[in-house]
Chains A and B, each alone.
Chain A
Amino acid sequence: MATITRPEIVDDVLSDERLEEIWKDPPGFIGFLKTVDHKRIGIRYIYTAFVFFFASGLLALVMRLQLAGPNMGVLSPEAYNEFFTMHGTSMIFLFNTPVLAGFGNYLLPMQIGTRDMAFPRLNAFSYWVFVFAGIFLYASFLVGSPPNGGWFAYTPLTDRVYSAGQNLDFWGLAVVFIGISTTVGAVNFLVTTIKLRAPGMTLNRLPVFVWSMLVFSFMVVFSVPVVTTAAGLLELDRLFGTQFFVPALGGSTLLYQHLFWFWGHPEVYILFVPAQGMVSMIVPVFSRRALAGYVWVVASLVAIGFISFGVWVHHMFATGIPPLAISFFSAVGLVIAIPSGIQFFAWIATMWKGVVELTTPMLFALGFMLIFLLGGITGVMVSVLPFDWQVTDSYFVVAHFHYVLNGAVVFPIFGAVYYWMPKMIGRMLSERLGKASFWTMFVGFNLAFFPMHILGFLGMPRRVYTYQSGLGWDALNLLATIGAFVFAFGVLLSLVNFVWARWRGAPAPPNPWQADTLEWMTASPTPEYNFAQIPVVESRHPLWDQDPMPVSESGGDPETRALGREGAARKETPLTSGMRAEPAGAMTVPEPTYLPFVLALGIAVLVAGLLVQAVLIGVLGLVLGAVGLVRWTWRTAETP
């Protein structure tokens, strides 16, 4: 074990400024392309994801205008179908998943007390793949053929016969493409969490957010390859004339649905588990006490991870699968409510005996609870087989999944922005504007989505570009449209708040919220090397229980050489043992490099070649990717 010293002893030679020099990226655009710093990548993930959030949000606003009244002519039927497909696809693939990966990227290494991710170059690679996939998908607007088959792209509507254009190829290839990003990102989180924790950061002391990212990553690794398979087979059908999903030729369209939802249902929880993890970080800090029932909460997250893999047929209740088989999935759908119930009462207990402070992050966490409560209840309802027959594919389901995916995921993400942005940008956001934004979003959200439950009861199916008057749908749709714009205004207030804070915000102290976890130990914004000396963790709430916070020194042996300033000066970060986090070695953090960018670009060119079916472009992409890959492995062999 490393010797423990107090932080005020600073070696002159290895001063913070010196370490900053060693860890810094090259300046300007070159540094932008070459960086492998998890913090830059994490922030960039978040910003990029928000760009897609605003883009797909705007699509939604135009759709709401089209539905504001019966027989409106804002959008043609083709355009409406393209808009809802792109809205769903980009919210799921280009906003929700990557924004959580972004927070994970920034926060996970900080919360476990290390200097970077386990595979920093892979990390840069997954960002570049994500951004190329996003650009690829949105480029479909430029050539006038955005995907139009709905975000789950059911065959045979999406096969060559019924969707002849390139629209669905953009979709299928983008899904395969971004699956690479999500999967390698998850592998990175897994290895980082298991191997790079600071000494003493046992599993039992992991912050709940880190647990949630661990569950997120396991779920991604087991489910995303399945949707990649589904989209990949669909593209084989479309581009190369195979018949996996063509019923007339012996293929099975239900096979596609099984494959899609085997990922699609866990995906809901993939998004939702880190959001719950964020809430479990925010609520205790603003209740000034430890989270009640830590072990229960962690067990709930893990349980959700497992159970969510048994729910996929939930989406196929009306496909004619025999009731006995379906009843199993109905039962599993009910059971998954229990872990969420546990978390609810853990948060309630935390506040009940704590000292509650209604800051903006806390308001978003509370708004999340009130919204998710309803989304969870309607979730139980749709797992009731016969009731689902009535409401599936109706606006009731549209309401339900927006309560879950917008309310229960986006609200915690906004809470997280207000909570962690001071650490990331070194500036405080305005509390006043933040609270105004919260209330506007909360009111707008309920105004927009609550009436949709009733529209479902009244028989309004989802994905209709228009409707006739006289069906009792007009007033409720108008209300929903008004709500959507109120919600959007609330989002705009937060955007203004953020831009203002970056420009003129008050400088953020290291720990503005008096929080308990390690990311608040460092200056704001975090220095390049995160921790000059790796902290020594002795509690689940290090910053509350350990004052001053003990940090470690580099020892002479390989196990401890990376712990202190000498390690930081060599760009090393310590490896520790999987269970008990005892020092076990050193890992060298790679230098900034173009390789991830080149490899991702190669794949992007390959995908573009597949889209236009040009062999030459495809080969060019393969060569570019191969160069990146070969050079990459070569360099790894050189490092000590």
Chain B
Amino acid sequence: MSRHRRVLGVAGVFAATVALAGCGGASMLDPKGSEARHIAGAWWVMFGLAMFVYVVVAVFIVGAVLRGRRRRRPEGSGISDGAFVWVGGIIVPALILFVIAVVTVDTTAALRKPDRRALRVDVRGQDWWWEVRYPGTGIRTANELHLPVGRPIEVRLTSDNVIHSFWVPQIGGKVDVIPGQPNYFRFTIEKAGLYRGVCAEFCGVQHANMAFYVRAESPGLFDRWEAAHAQPPSEPADELAAQGALVFQRVACAGCHTVRGTQAVGTKGPDLTDVGSRHALAAGTLENSAASLRRWIADPQHYKPGALMPQVPLSGDDLTKIVAYLTSLK
């Protein structure tokens, strides 16, 4: 909190709103990654200059009006028009813009640099969810990236449909996900935590529900997660879940979804191999709980109208089994 306090002192009401709201949400001014930190630094420099410019110019505007209101006839002497234009309109702005140009170059130079040791993650933008793969490990998941703190990371972004944009405000800026052109987002995460990201480029009817999460863990935890998930999940121990697995194979689910190590190998929808461990369902549309999973499967179009997942007719019993199965997939 002490850093927040300092910020409040410097930046007044505006910053207070942003920073306080940032405690609850995901403010880009509460950075947890290298890129977001650099950009937040640049922002505070610009914010200071902006406050200065706004106040000075506004005082001049209001001052000029007040002076002008008192008078009966235009003034002949005093500050020349040329002085106003040269000092206020050219010299001072040029100096400020020069400072901003230096900040720009300086910040840009520090960001998105390739690093051969980087951990590579492949992310594909889908309609309307994110497919995540860890090359070389066989791990596939969706709408959630497990990433280690402190290690350089390279996210390779591709799309075979429309343009999306990958944005986690607390980690860094946006990178567009463009069909026919892989883009790379390179950064380091500086603090463990769960960070929300969104699709930032309008991509169709469910653009609004295309969120994802970054789960940043210590390198040790990350390595353990990676090792565990490189293997397909074990058979469900629970009886209900085991029955759910059979239902899942039998009805339409397996046609679109994959659960590694089973006969469900569909690729139209998100891989569900670890769906039970995820923070949210349907790309941030619902919280992840047995209850909301049940509601989601029963009527996806109610929560995400236009999404590509159809409503599959299921008996209440089958639904219960499937939910038990999916929640067991961690």
A interface residue numbers (CB < 8 A to B): 76-78, 81, 149-150, 154, 156-157, 162, 247-248, 252-254, 287-289, 292-293, 296, 318-320, 323, 327, 330-331, 334-335, 337-338, 341-358, 366, 369-370, 373-374, 377-378, 380-381, 384-394, 454, 457-459, 461-468, 470-473, 476
Give every chain B residue within 8 A of A342 (Cβ-Cβ): 85, 89-90
Q: Is the beta-carbon distance between A377 and B50 smaller than 8 angstroms?
A: yes
Once the chains are docked, how many angstroms separate the CA of A463 from the CA of B163?
14
B179–A77 CB distance below 8 A:
no
Please determine whether B179 and A384 come into contact, CB atoms closer than 8 angstroms.
no
Cβ < 8 Å to A, chain B residues 59-84: 60-61, 63-65, 67-69, 71-76, 78-79, 81-82, 84
Nearest residue, chain A, Cβ from B66: A356
B200 at the A/B interface (Cβ < 8 Å)? yes
On whether the beta carbons of B208 and A467 are closer than 8 Å, the reply is yes
Complex CA gap A292/B174 in Å reads 43
**Chain B residues near A292 (CB, 8 Å)?**
81, 84-85
Complex Cα gap A310–B92 (Å): 23
Q: Per-position contact with A for B28-44: 1 when CB-CB < 8 Å, else 0?
A: 11000001101100110
- Chain B contacts for A392, CB-based, 8 A: 173-174, 200
Contacts of B172 in A (CB 8 A): 389-390
Q: How far is the CB of A350 from chain B (nearest CB, A)?
A: 8
Residues on A with C-beta less than 8 A from B87 are: 345
List, in ascending order, chain A residues with CB within 8 A of B204's CB. 81, 157, 162
Whether B65 and A351, one on each chain, are in contact in the complex, defined by CB atoms closer than 8 angstroms, is: yes
How far, in whole Å, are A541 and B183 apart by their CA atoms in the complex?
A: 57
Q: Are B74 and A355 in contact (CB under 8 A)?
A: yes
| A248 CA to B84 CA, complexed, in Å | 56
Give the Cβ gap from B241 to chain A, nearest Cβ, in Å. Answer: 29
A377 CB contacts on chain B under 8 angstroms: 50, 53-54
Interface status of B291 (Cβ within 8 A of chain A): no
Q: Is the CB of A76 within 8 A of B305?
A: yes
Given A296-B89, A345-B89: A354 in contact with B17 (beta carbons within 8 A): no
Task: Evaluate contact between B104 and A352: CB separation under 8 angstroms.
Answer: no
Residue in contact with B100 in the complex, picked from A247, A358, A384, A461, CB distance below 8 Å: A384
- Known contacts being A345-B88, A457-B22, is A463 close to B202, with CB within 8 Å? yes
CB-based contact B97/A253 at 8 Å: no
Tell me the bound Cα distance from A81 to B306 in angstroms. 12
User: Is the beta-carbon distance between A387 and B202 smaller than 8 angstroms?
Assistant: no
Q: How distant is B70 from chain A, measured CB to nearest CB, in Å?
A: 9
Task: Name the B residues within 8 Å of A350 (CB-CB).
Answer: 81
List B residues at the A interface (Cβ < 8 Å).
14, 17-18, 21-22, 24-29, 35-36, 38-39, 42-43, 46, 50, 53-54, 57-58, 60-61, 63-65, 67-69, 71-76, 78-79, 81-82, 84-85, 87-90, 92-94, 97, 100-101, 103-105, 107-108, 111-112, 160-163, 165, 167, 169, 172-176, 178-181, 183-184, 196, 198-209, 284, 305-306
Extra inter-chain contacts (17) besides given A293-B82, A386-B39, CB under 8 Å: A157-B163, A320-B178, A337-B93, A338-B90, A338-B93, A341-B89, A341-B93, A349-B84, A352-B68, A352-B78, A355-B72, A356-B68, A370-B58, A380-B100, A384-B46, A392-B173, A463-B208
Complex contact A471–B85 (CB within 8 A): no
A464 CB → nearest B CB, Å: 4
Q: Which residue of chain B has the shortest Cβ distance to A467 in the bound complex?
A: B208
Nearest first, the 6 closest Cβ-Cβ pairs linking A and B are A389-B173, A356-B68, A247-B180, A472-B25, A292-B81, A345-B88
Q: A354-B74, A366-B61 are in contact. Are A390 and B69 (CB under 8 A)?
A: no
Residues of A near B22 (CB, < 8 A) are 457-458, 472
With beta carbons under 8 angstroms apart, the residue of B14, B43, B101, B200 that contacts A393 is B200
| Contact between chains at A319 and B26 (CB < 8 Å) | no
Query: Chain B's nearest CB lies how many Å from the CB of A210?
Result: 21
